[in-house]
Structure 1
Amino acid sequence: MQLGAYSWGLLITFACIFLLGTVFSFNFSYLVGIDSEYDLKRFLVIGFIWLASLGLCFVKDVEFIRLSRLTKVSLTIFFVLAIVSAFFSKHPFWGMVEITNIGILIIAFYLFALSINSMKRSILYFAVYAGVLFFSVLTFAKYILFLFFSYADAQSFDIHGLLTGYVNVRFFNQLQVMVTPLLFLPFFVQSLAKFKRVSIVFVALHWAVLLQTEARGAMLSLILASVVLFFFVDANTRKQFISTMLQTMLFGICLWLVFIIIIPYWLMDSSSFQIRTGSSGRLDLWLYVLKSIPERLWLGFGPMSFTWAEGKPLPHAHPHNSVMQLLYEYGVICSIVCIAWVLSRIYKRLRYLYLANDVEVIPIIYALLSGLCYSLFSGVVVMPLAQLMLVFVVAMQVQYGTCRGYKASVVVRMLLFLVVSVMAFVLLNTYKNEELLPALFPRMWVNGLISY
């Protein structure tokens, strides 16, 4: 098999599992006999990575990207400390399960990067745009149908009432913060310019849904990420970017006012809109983390340890903040290493944008920044499809890099497949494990809590 065929197969399969895990998850979970749509997403992600690693064994002339020295050192420090932390934790087995999940996602990054670098940029961007647009079309088709059904039945709806395929509407918001920026591709890629009006409509619809679902963190992330980008583009690009952002936001606000506020109020004499000023318990969770850190300052309480943390103010399986999660579960040393590495990579990418004025990469960087911002308010680094989407967006950052890769022989690829198979077996073997409490607080699976 040629690398080009494999790359297309990987992207198409990724799009299929993405749709099966979102738009069609209710029907597909019933078809395959999996109780929870959340668990279905985890199965799909693991199965996708396993299948992709199997397919790689049959590809000719495979060349993996070569990591920088900084990245190698950072990864080594992270995994060594994470393994030590896991063995000193209350549940070493579950700590190693979390490390295994991180490992399989790193392999997914390699597979994505391999495929992305084998494609022409214009073709890749068209494929990515077509994928996110198709996902948006199907999502909003169902959303509008449910909205009209609620009108016809004169039934009010809450933030979860118009979206299906997600245990929690925040799981959709986690995807939105990375999908919405990619819909900006026609404004910066000349070959896609004819889709500008289409993008304006669908970005506006995303804003309307963000407002309807009261996704304050997601909206803030999209705005903050765009503001950061404004400082690294030239004046003309900045003006175009601001204009496009304002158009889509205002259009989205108008759609929200008409279809979510005014019409329901007219038909049902009620509106689901309310201004929330609380933190939904997040501040309490973060304060708990900060108070607990001194007990295990250097190594943390162990990977996945928040699932069995004692005395939490809320029974969540993660603290809804990637930095707080790092601090609590991996300790200060790992946190400093990871945060420093992420900031250095972001700065390098933004500096490239500033010096090269390569406007085509703006939506790609925007998607990454937005996803990382939202990880400070939600479980982007925890939920299965959000994890995989973030890995894909990160892989797009290394496209067409100047660093040379290295050839991967058939033996290396077969060993990689065996490693992925073992990882997949370990992860899947934890499904409905007897140590998991029967409570709907997702982490690895929908029943994510572990007894202390």
Structure 2
Amino acid sequence: MNQVNIIKPSLISLFFLCTLIPLIPIVSYDYHNHQRIIQITFLLITSLLVLTAFLGNKKPAFRLSLNKKSSVLYLIFIFSGCLSALMSMERSFSLLCTFHISLLILTMCCVSTINDKKSILFIIYALLITHTSLILICLLNIIFTLSEQQPLNPYIIYSGFINIRFFNQVQVFILPFLVLLLKFKGIQRVVFIILFLNLLLIFIGQARGALLSFLAFSIFALALKTTLKKQVIIGLVCLALSCITFYALDSLNKGGTEILRTSTSGRVDLWLNTLSSLSIKHLFIGNGPGIFEMSLGNSAPFSHPHNSLIEILNEWGLIALICILTAVFTTFKKAVTHLRSHKKDVITESLFYSFAIGVIYSLFSGVHVMPVSQTLLFIMWGLLLGRINKRNGPLIYISKWGKAIITILFIFGWYFYLQQAISVYNNIDPDSGYIYGPRFWSVGQRE
């Protein structure tokens, strides 16, 4: 099953095209819901390809693209989510979120079958080209803002994004690939300009978590002492230039923005309150995936705690947290081992950094929650696994009756997933405007 690509690079590229370029007509009330609809379509098509490849195998056996230990960890994680959902106050919605994450993990397994250089480069180039188109639109917005002598307002400059953090969450995955392309002298200047614009937009959006993630990635890359060391240093120079440029442009029309503000935007209080609300049951199960909601004072309720570790502990339980942390740590360990013995494998290195920077930023923002960044996180994880897992997984034997049962489970799962997603979507009231939560759709109510 892992001898051929189950999912084609062109399908992944089409996902990038439909979700990142705002010139494509929006199919819902806002850009976030548009991206969620495309994500749901992408996940369902991917799972259909998995089932087709599974049924198309005439032999009564197939190989997993992951090793046995990793497969067990993911199964325990999903089981913990299902158990937490069944015990939650909003059973149907929580099961919807659990199944949604299960489809993302399945997509990651499919993507891990892609390990050839040509296919991976196709995906990376498609991501960079579509995202650069978005960056150039933002550049035009900067020019128009300055020409009108207005302050640098990210809500105007970040084209189409109802929440500016959604924009930054996608950006962090792009930065390591731009650093990789600095290695090619023929396009080095163009790539430097694109990297400069990305970092400038991060400063404009005051995304301190994204800047911290970029610095953490740079320090780790320098410590690893691989062939991208020179390019990482150039990236840090680009970071300094973008910071100077931001302050210079902001001084022209002062907007009162301070990139080095000392407030935590309520995150620390949110984390402490969430941790203090934990009980003995969280050692085994959580409150239910997707149903987190907390208000601080008179502020609008937060729909997630802006920290992936605290969120999983609160919603999925400690067992699930240990399983997913073990899986991520194992991936990191294998990647570092691989890179130390393959110092010129810059493709695997850039995939590792892209996945790592996404994981780091998830500790400060909703990378693991929002549709595009969430899908990117699992796609990069899968591509990285495909490069570092050289051995075939265990051989699993399944009878014809077993295949029939699995097919029925797939069909039942698809029906439940679509039925619940449409049900929650129908609760959307566009006249109410944007509200904080639920996080599956940007506007609406879970019940």
TM-score by length of 1: 0.84
**Residue correspondence of structure 1 range 187-336 to structure 2 within 5 A:** 187=182, 194-234=186-226, 237=227, 239-258=229-248, 260-262=249-251, 265=252, 268=253, 270-274=254-258, 275-294=260-279, 296-298=281-283, 299-307=285-293, 315-336=301-322
Structure 1 pair 52–341 and aligned structure 2 pair: CA distance change class (3 A)? closer
Are 2:179 and 2:232, in contact at CA under 8 Å, matched by a contact in 1? Answer: no
**Is the aligned partner of 1:418 residue 2:411?**
yes
**Is the aligned partner of 1:369 residue 2:356?**
yes
Partners in 1 of 2:146 and 2:428 — Cα distance?
A: 44
Match of 1:444 in 2: 440
Partners in 2 of 1:294 and 1:407 — Cα distance?
A: 39
Structure 1 pair 347–330 and aligned structure 2 pair: CA distance change class (3 A)? same
**Residue correspondence of structure 1 range 7-86 to structure 2 within 5 A:** 10-24=8-22, 28-29=25-26, 32=27, 34-54=28-48, 65-86=64-85
Are 1:380 and 1:387, in contact at CA under 8 Å, matched by a contact in 2? Answer: yes
Structure 1 pair 88–170 and aligned structure 2 pair: CA distance change class (3 A)? same
Structure 1 residue 107: deviation in Å?
2.1
SS in 2 for 1:306: coil
Are 1:22 and 1:166, in contact at CA under 8 Å, matched by a contact in 2? Answer: no
Partners in 1 of 2:162 and 2:397 — Cα distance?
A: 40
Are 1:22 and 1:165, in contact at CA under 8 Å, matched by a contact in 2? Answer: no
Deviations along 1:299-319, one digit per CA (max 9) or x if unpaired, are 221222314789997501100
Structure 1: which 5+ runs fail to align? none
Match of 2:390 in 1: 402
Match of 2:179 in 1: 184
Structure 1 residue 44: deviation in Å?
0.2
Structure 1 pair 402–55 and aligned structure 2 pair: CA distance change class (3 A)? closer
Structure 1 residue 47: deviation in Å?
0.7
Larger mean Cα displacement after TM superposition, 245-254 or 314-323: 245-254
Structure 1 residue 288: deviation in Å?
1.0
Give the share of equivalent positions with the same residue, in percent. 23
Match of 1:132 in 2: 127
Are 1:226 and 1:366, in contact at CA under 8 Å, matched by a contact in 2? Answer: no
Partners in 2 of 1:348 and 1:446 — Cα distance?
A: 37
SS in 2 for 1:429: helix
Are 2:66 and 2:392, in contact at CA under 8 Å, matched by a contact in 1? Answer: no
Structure 1 pair 141–101 and aligned structure 2 pair: CA distance change class (3 A)? same
Match of 1:430 in 2: 423
SS in 1 for 2:379: helix
Structure 1 residue 195: deviation in Å?
2.6
SS in 2 for 1:444: coil
Structure 1 residue 449: deviation in Å?
5.7
Structure 1 pair 195–423 and aligned structure 2 pair: CA distance change class (3 A)? farther
Are 1:317 and 1:441, in contact at CA under 8 Å, matched by a contact in 2? Answer: yes
Structure 2: which 5+ runs fail to align? none
TM-score by length of 2: 0.85
Structure 1 pair 170–310 and aligned structure 2 pair: CA distance change class (3 A)? closer
**Residue correspondence of structure 1 range 152-191 to structure 2 within 5 A:** 152-187=147-182
**Residue correspondence of structure 1 range 94-105 to structure 2 within 5 A:** 94-105=93-104
Tell me the matched-pair count. 428
Structure 1 residue 202: deviation in Å?
1.0
Structure 1 pair 186–419 and aligned structure 2 pair: CA distance change class (3 A)? farther
Deviations along 1:368-425, one digit per CA (max 9) or x if unpaired, are 1100000000011111111111111001112243222569999689668636633542
Structure 1 pair 214–435 and aligned structure 2 pair: CA distance change class (3 A)? closer
Structure 1 pair 327–103 and aligned structure 2 pair: CA distance change class (3 A)? same
